[in-house]
Amino acid sequence: MVYIYPMDRNNKLSLIASLESSAADFAEFVRPVLNDPVLLDGRPEPDMWTVREHIVHVAESEIAAFHRYRKAIAEPESPVLGYNEEVWTPCPELGYGDEDPSPWLDFLLMMRKLESTHLRRIAGADWGGYAYRHSSFGLVPLERWVSDYIEHIKVHRDYIERNIGLLGKAAR
């Protein structure tokens, strides 16, 4: 999807709807996998994340996402720090592989609902001044933030589909 910035109110509302529905679609897609331990915790290759790890990562990244978008509005152009997901996900002390993914999915849906509800309330406002400065990506305007987090879920869904395909083939 290509987005043109700045957006009018209707374009923002469409983007916000996609932000919310991307999480709902993701949750609907992965919930059946939760009942299959081979698909949920199988690791097709040593350097690939399991479906469980993807779910926890996507939900956990929403914590950073929420903070970033709120900061863009309350403290425009202020800095935010990134984090290294390649370090966090395998970190044994964080226990991604031991987490029950269901509450994480519920959390993701709740966060997207809160974000979407608020963003709809301000969709008529000029978002031109709403941005944060990411430690790795530079200035991120609010409209790009929305697009990025829609894409983030799509990327992880693609990884999960890849895992399911690879693990399904291995089971045959």
pLDDT given at position 166: 95
Q: What is the mean pLDDT of residues 139-150?
A: 96
First to last CA, the chain: 36
Query: pLDDT tens digits for 1-60?
Result: 445 567 899 999 999 999 999 999 999 999 999 999 999 999 999 999 999 999 999 999
State the fold for domain 9-171. Four Helix Bundle (Hemerythrin (Met), subunit A) (1.20.120)
Distance between CA atoms of residues 101 and 104, nearest Å: 5
73, 127 contact by CB (below 8 A): no
User: Could you report the per-residue pLDDT of 76-116, keeping only the tens digit for each?
Assistant: 999 999 999 999 999 999 999 999 999 999 999 999 999 99
The ranges assigned to domains in the chain are 9-171
- For the stretch 10-26, pLDDT in tens is 999 999 999 999 999 99
* Contact between 26 and 153 (Cβ < 8 Å): yes
Residues 6+ apart with CB under 8 A from 32: none
Whether residue 119 is predicted with pLDDT greater than 70 in this model: the reply is yes
State yes or no: pLDDT of 135 exceeds 90: yes
pLDDT at 3: 53
Mean pLDDT, all residues of the chain: 94
Q: How many CB atoms lie within 10 A of CB 10?
A: 9
Q: Residue 107: its pLDDT value, please?
A: 98
- pLDDT, residue 168, reads 84
**Average pLDDT, stretch 162-170?**
88
